[in-house]
Homo-oligomer: A and B are copies of this chain.
Amino acid sequence: MDESVMCPRFQKAMGMMSQRWTGLVIYQLLSGPKRFCALESSIGLSGRVLSERLKDLENHGIVKRVVFPETPVRIEYSLTEKGLALEPIVKEIEKWSQTWVPVESDSL
């Protein structure tokens, strides 16, 4: 009946942050530039999806990709100003989790 009376900016932001892995990619990049394989192994997602997410985040102006033509080639992903501005969100999630998420027995 309704189909969204919510703010479209907010919905877009939420849609982005609600994509699987996006939050963890940003969290990892908040501690500095990272390479593809470093993200892959620290987050534990498939290369296929990581590649997809990094492209999306680049298209959204949140992540930038820098190629160092060394040997073998090194490519670093880092946050733009827009991406760095996401830090308070990640910090709040971290804070909430420390207070409210139990560690043992999968919280059911």
Residues of A within 8 A of B (CB): 1-14, 17-24, 27, 41-44, 59-61, 82, 85-86, 88-89, 92-103, 107-108
Contact partner, A27, options B14, B27, B107, Cβ 8 Å: B14
Chain B residues with CB under 8 Å of A86's CB are 96
* Chain B residues with CB below 8 A from A107, complex form: 12, 59-61
User: Could you say how many copies of this chain the assembly holds?
Assistant: 2
- Give the interface SS of chain A, mostly helix, strand, loop or mixed: helix
Contact indicator A14/B18 (Cβ below 8 Å) = no
A42 and B6 form a contact (CB under 8 A): yes
Which chain B residues lie closer than 8 Å to A42 at the CB level? 2, 4-6
Minimum CB–CB distance from A4 to chain B (whole Å) comes to 5
A sample of 7 cross-chain residue pairs with beta-carbon separation below 8 angstroms, ordered by A number, consists of A18-B18, A18-B19, A18-B22, A82-B100, A85-B96, A88-B92, A88-B96
Kindly list chain B residues whose C-beta atoms are within 8 Å of the C-beta of A17.
Answer: 17-18, 23, 93
> Is A41 touching B2 in the complex (CB atoms < 8 A)?
yes
Chain B positions within 8 Å of A98 at CB level? 9-10
